[in-house]
């Protein structure tokens, strides 16, 4: 079977240039994409009709679990077998995550996966030469998917014509449906495939993979191989529906009579062909434009019998199409019989099928992880030069911890706390008193506290690699310096626990895009952006829900303005439980934090919150500021040029003075009423000196400890790695339970 390769530079199809002149076989070629010779609209594409795998090549082919039909086989599977036998390493990925779009129950999905494995083995895929594996068993798929979402803009999925058409037919689009092309890109890029055997109707998907891969390489460095499309040069990828011969044969068609499955028995094949749509009174001859039904049967006949067109026309010209159907049925049954027999043999030994998937999972995971490691190092999630983490001591507790003084029973009844913080800058006074100090209190009260430095959320906006690496370590040092104890709490880097990305991908199947578009935080971001937002910025609330739900969290400490995030997480959990099984995910509650964060305002604009994102560094007091810098910032604080006594503060300066009072109150522990009485007669300048000294004195021990920690980056990496190991054990428990419910777990 001849094939051609289409590289990115040559891949520009202009379908508007299609011209149909006359009838007969050659006009039909243009109508259905047949390329027995190079048709005019593809003349600029370089064909490689004698494609060979003499050089080291890797092929990737995704396939949804379920019953495969003859169109699947002749469209791409046959090419996979040919490539494999020529020495190409073929990665055949069973895309069970994509299958959640049409989920019925876990038993059906398990059966579909087994059926797919048995069928691909029966048609000639050799597990000793190729790699057969489940998408859901390779966490790197989900991890790379998120990274690519943060690279492309929100509108990117709709640029794929077939996907845009599919979305237009959906009443209520889920995020999983919307972003599925990005996951498909991640699937292909992970294995650094040179080629993708595909049907002619999926060329646009390969172009998207090439575009996204090239954009990443240009922005971050050469991590990905850009695959070329390996498309059949004949008509084998253009087998049409038996019932609607102007459309492609498809598994998504609700009419089972529209396709011939590879495992259909002889009686079923004959019955389906008998009901195939044709002009029953006409003679058998090839004219795809005027007689697509009988022409489609002739294509099938040619493929399964190996007979030439002249022979087929000569032997059957005198027959009416109704009679010809039985000739085609006999040829199909002769072709399918050995495939059915082999598949039945494989299906009788499920342990062997599981062994094939286990072996494939191991090999695929090794290759995928190598690619992901390069990506992580490139974008700043890890640094190999500083990644020689000391082995975890044998006495280090990686199990579900029991806090000192807590019995296991008491531990089960304590609050399970989760919170995350982005490494996008140094902690400031508002962060410390509004959140971190209260996390420390929960930790010291004996509750189970899980804290994540959410670097995956940080890349929803552009980040420099060096900044992300530095900020992650700085955040870890700052949290520990503020009182987070890695032996009492679990402190880790989000990107190093792959289950966060895995659960995110699964939750997308129930999270609707309309709901995400209504999120207040997203609307606020749109107001400040000067460009189209990334897809990651749009979909990040689902990843945030995954962060929370992954650890069976009971309580999430949030400010009053963040309650919407917890409400969304609860809603997604309810929908997930309703679709896949009762009580899979625990519904968390919000702990509304003390309003200190809201009270600590910007030093430059006292009507706004103190913020890490403010472009003016003098607007905030950072916990790593030196005592002198703290005093300088406080003394420079905006007070509307009022220098009189506190008691006589004019209206336009009251907000600024009140902010200084609030800061003084949180660092000293003295209530506002007492401070007002004590310092009523102080001038603004004198009071600024008092506040500056109080803040500097309070923050000095924290800065000192953080500075010491930052001098030992290897130690910080070790703490984060230990935390990731502990977090991952819990996370794996949740993901394992979900995989069982969904039907992903076959052994």
Of 430, 422, 459, nearest in space to 593 by CA: 430
d(CA 211, CA 638): 49
Q: How far apart are CA 26 and CA 29, in angstroms?
A: 5
Q: CA dist 460 to 18, 531, 613, Å? A: 41, 13, 14
CA dihedral 551, 554, 556, 560 (to 10 degrees): 150
Determine the straight-line distance between the first and last CA of the chain, rounded to whole angstroms. 37
Instruction: Enter the tokens of residue 37.
Output: 């010779």
pLDDT given for residue 318 in this prediction: 86
The pLDDT value recorded for residue 255 is: 94
Q: Which of 67, 111, 125 is nearest to 259 (CA)?
A: 67
CB atoms within 10 A of CB 692: 25
Instruction: Collapse the DSSP code of 48 into the 3-class scheme (helix H, G, I; strand E, B; otherwise coil) and give the result.
Output: coil
SS3 69: strand
Q: Annotated catalytic, 137? A: no
- Sheet containing strand 131-134, strands side by side: 3-6, 228-232, 195-198, 58-63, 89-94, 131-134
Task: Provide the residue count of the chain.
Answer: 747
Q: Considering 272, 609, 703, 741, which one is annotated as catalytic?
A: 609
Specify whether 609 is catalytic: yes
Catalytic-role residue among 612, 705, 725, 737: 612
Q: How far apart are CA 404 and CA 387, in angstroms?
A: 31
- Token pair recorded at residue 311: 């022979």
Q: What pLDDT shows up at residue 42? A: 30
Q: For residues 12 and 235, give the distance between their C-alpha atoms in angstroms, rounded to a whole number.
A: 20
CB 189 within 8 Å of CB 209: yes
Choose the catalytic residue: 2, 437, 525, 725. 525
What is the reported pLDDT for 483? 97
Q: What is the secondary structure of 97-134 as a DSSP string?
A: TGGGGG---HHHHHHHHHHHHHHHHHTT--TTTSEEEE
Query: pTM for this one?
Result: 0.88
Q: What is the Cβ-side half-sphere exposure of residue 452, based on CA atoms within 13 angstroms?
A: 30
The encoded tokens of residue 397 equal 């507790």
275 is catalytic: no
What does each C-alpha distance from 391 to 262, 297, 618, 730 come to in angstroms?
51, 64, 42, 20
Give whole-number Cα distances, 488 to 70, 411, 416, 445, 460, in Å. 59, 12, 13, 10, 31
Pairwise CA distance, residues 16 & 28, whole Å: 16
Exposure string of 312-322, with b = 16+ CB inside 10 Å and e = fewer, is: bbeebeeebbe
How many angstroms separate the Cα of 646 from the Cα of each of 631, 685, 700? 19, 10, 27
What 8-state DSSP symbol labels residue 490? E
**H helices within 581-712, ranges in order?**
596-599, 627-635, 651-668, 672-678, 684-710
Residues of the chain with pLDDT under 50: 1-4, 6-54, 387-390, 392-410
Q: Which residues pair with 240 in a beta bridge?
A: 248
User: What are the helix and strand counts (H, E) for the chain?
Assistant: 29, 11
Cα-Cα-Cα-Cα dihedral sign, residues 61, 58, 230, 223: positive
* Contact between residue 600 and residue 433 where contact means Cβ atoms under 8 Å apart: yes
């Amino acid at each position: 079977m001849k094939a051609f390769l289409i590289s990115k530079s040559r891949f520009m199809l202009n379908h508007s240039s299609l011209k149909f002149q006359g009838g007969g076989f050659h006009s039909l070629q243009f109508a259905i994409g047949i390329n027995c010779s190079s048709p005019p609209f593809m003349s600029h594409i370089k064909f490689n009709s004698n494609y060979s795998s003499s050089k080291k090549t890797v092929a990737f082919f995704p396939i949804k679990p379920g019953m495969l039909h003859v169109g699947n086989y002749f469209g791409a599977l046959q090419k996979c077998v040919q490539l494999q036998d020529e020495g190409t390493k073929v990665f055949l990925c069973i895309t069970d995550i994509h299958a959640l779009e049409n989920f019925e129950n876990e038993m059906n999905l398990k059966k579909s996966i087994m059926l797919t494995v048995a069928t691909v083995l029966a048609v000639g895929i050799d597990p000793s030469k190729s790699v057969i594996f489940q998408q859901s068993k390779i966490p790197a798929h989900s991890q790379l998917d998120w990274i690519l979402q943060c690279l492309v803009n929100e509108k990117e999925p709709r640029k794929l014509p077939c996907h845009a058409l599919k979305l237009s037919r959906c009443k209520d689009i889920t995020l999983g449906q919307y972003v599925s092309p990005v996951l498909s890109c991640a699937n292909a890029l992970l294995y650094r495939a040179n080629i993708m055997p595909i049907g002619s109707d999926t060329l646009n998907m390969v172009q998207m993979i090439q575009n996204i891969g090239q954009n990443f390489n240009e922005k971050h460095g050469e991590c990905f191989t850009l695959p070329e499309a390996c498309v059949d040069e004949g008509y084998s990828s253009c087998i049409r529906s038996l019932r609607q011969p102007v459309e492609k044969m498809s598994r998504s068609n609700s009419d089972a009579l529209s396709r011939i499955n590879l495992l259909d028995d002889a009686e079923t094949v004959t019955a389906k062909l008998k009901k195939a749509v044709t002009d029953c009174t006409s003679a058998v001859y090839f004219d795809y434009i005027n007689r697509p039904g009988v022409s489609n049967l002739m294509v099938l006949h040619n493929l399964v019998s190996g007979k030439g067109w002249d022979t087929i026309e000569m032997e059957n010209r005198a027959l009416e199409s109704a009679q010809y159907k039985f000739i085609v049925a006999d040829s199909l049954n002769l072709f399918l019989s050995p495939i059915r027999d082999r598949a039945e043999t494989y299906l009788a030994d499920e342990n062997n099928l599981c062994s094939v998937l286990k072996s494939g999972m191991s090999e695929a995971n090794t290759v995928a992880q190598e690619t992901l490691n390069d990506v992580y190092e490139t974008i700043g999630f890890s640094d190999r030069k500083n990644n020689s983490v000391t082995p975890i001591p044998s006495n280090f507790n990686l199990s579900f911890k029991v806090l000192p003084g807590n019995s296991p029973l008491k531990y089960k009844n304590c609050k399970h706390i989760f919170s995350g913080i982005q490494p996008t800058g140094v902690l400031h006074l508002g962060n410390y008193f509004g959140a971190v100090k209260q996390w420390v209190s929960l930790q010291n009260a004996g509750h189970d506290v899980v804290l994540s430095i959410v670097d995956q959320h940080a890349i929803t906006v552009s980040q420099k690699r060096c900044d992300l690496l530095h900020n992650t370590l700085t955040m870890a040092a700052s949290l520990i310096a503020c009182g987070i104890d890695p032996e009492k709490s679990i402190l880790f880097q989000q990107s190093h626990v792959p289950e966060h990305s895995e659960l995110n991908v699964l939750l997308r199947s129930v999270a609707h895009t309309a709901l995400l578009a209504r999120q207040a935080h997203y609307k606020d971001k749109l107001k400040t952006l000067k460009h189209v937002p990334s897809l990651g910025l749009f979909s990040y609330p689902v990843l945030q829900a995954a962060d929370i739900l992954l650890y069976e969290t009971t309580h999430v400490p949030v400010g009053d303005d963040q309650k919407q995030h917890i409400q969304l997480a609860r809603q997604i959990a309810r929908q997930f439980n309703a679709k896949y099984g009762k009580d899979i995910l625990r519904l968390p509650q919000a702990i509304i934090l003390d309003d200190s964060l809201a009270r600590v305002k910007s030093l430059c604009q006292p009507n706004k919150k103190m913020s890490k994102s403010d472009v003016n560094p003098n607007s905030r007091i950072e916990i790593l500021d030196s005592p002198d810098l703290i005093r300088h910032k406080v003394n420079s604080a905006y007070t509307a040029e009022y220098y009189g006594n506190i008691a006589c503060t004019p209206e336009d300066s009251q907000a600024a003075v009140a902010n200084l009072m609030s800061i003084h109150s949180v660092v000293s522990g003295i209530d506002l009423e007492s401070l007002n009485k004590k310092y009523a007669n102080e001038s603004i300048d004198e009071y600024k000196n008092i506040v500056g000294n109080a803040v500097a004195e309070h923050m000095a021990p924290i800065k000192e400890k953080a500075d010491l920690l930052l001098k030992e980056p290897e130690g910080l990496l070790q703490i984060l790695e230990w935390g990731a190991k502990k977090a991952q054990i819990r996370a794996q428990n949740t993901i394992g339970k979900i995989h069982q419910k969904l039907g992903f777990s076959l052994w």
